[in-house]
Amino acid sequence: MRGYDPEDARRALRAYLATKKERLAPWCQRAGISESAVRGFLRGRSQSLSGRTLERLAQADGVEIGRLLPGAGALDQRPLVTAELADGPGVALLGAVFVRVWVRDADAPGFELLRRDRLAALTTARPDQLVLLPVRTDAMADTLNPGDTALVDTTRTDPREAGVFAVTVDGTPAIRRLTYDWADGRVLVSHDNPAYAPFPATPEAVPILGRVIWAGRAFA
């Protein structure tokens, strides 16, 4: 999770576990997450836990993330647009104007805040069904360039709906253009950058995470 020192996080999680009568394994099972990922972090084999993992652990116990990691709640809710820019009085306005959307990023997982009204114009999906996915490669240039951020609607996974999707390629999230072949039920996986060759695949070979419904780009 961004902005949180790993050693401080380990100490806080260990202290919280010490107050529980439940062991780590059943806690993770109730939260629907991997015990090995949490145990690896606690033992120092990894340096981060995603904001989504922490949120699920907290939800399993019916507490806020800040109960697990004091101060983490505030870090998780840093907005893309500040309350001042939104002409609001502060935290109360953020809940009314913004929703939290998970950032799926191995390097800097966490959450960002997006405006409710703008999301409503794009999709009927709930905020927890949306994912922000950073663009890391030039495979989709110039439609999407490295440094861009794509908003993915995870409720839209039908490969027959041709368009730009977030898919899993060799176990890694990637953004590709899919075209469904009605003759044999396969999809053509292509890149908008002509330097990369397209390839046919079955929908099962490239699991669809969701459809890209919006993208943002920062200008220097």
Distance CA 185, CA 11 (A): 51
- The three-class DSSP label of residue 134 is strand
Q: Which residue has the tokens 């949120």?
A: 55
Alpha-carbon distance of 34 to 38, in angstroms, equals 7
Residues found in the chain: 220
Give the helix/strand (H/E) hosting 133: strand 130-134
pLDDT for the residue 20:
83
Q: Mark residue 87 as left, alpha or beta (left: phi above 0; alpha: psi -120 to 50; beta: remaining).
A: left
Q: 126, 140, 139, 132: which is closest to 215 by C-alpha?
A: 132
**Three-state secondary structure call for residue 192:** coil
End-to-end CA distance of the chain: 26
Rounded to two decimals, the pTM is 0.56
Phi-psi region of 6 (alpha: psi -120 to 50; beta: other; left: phi over 0): alpha
**At how many degrees (to 10) do helices 6-19 and 35-42 cross?**
110
| Domains in the chain, CATH or no CATH each | 6-76 (1.10.260.40), 91-128 (no CATH), 130-216 (2.10.109.10)
Query: Percent helix, strand, coil in the chain (nearest 5)?
Result: 30, 25, 45
Q: Is 180 exposed, middle or buried (0-12, 13-18, 19+ CB in 10 A)?
A: middle
**Residues 70-96: pLDDT tens digits?**
644 433 333 333 333 233 333 333 444
Going by C-beta distance under 8 Å and a sequence separation of 6 or more, which residues neighbour residue 40? Answer: 46
pLDDT under 50: residue ranges of the chain: 1-3, 71-96
* Dihedral pair phi/psi, residue 31, rounded to 5°: -80, -10
**Closest to 207 measured CA to CA, from 179, 166, 177, 151:** 166
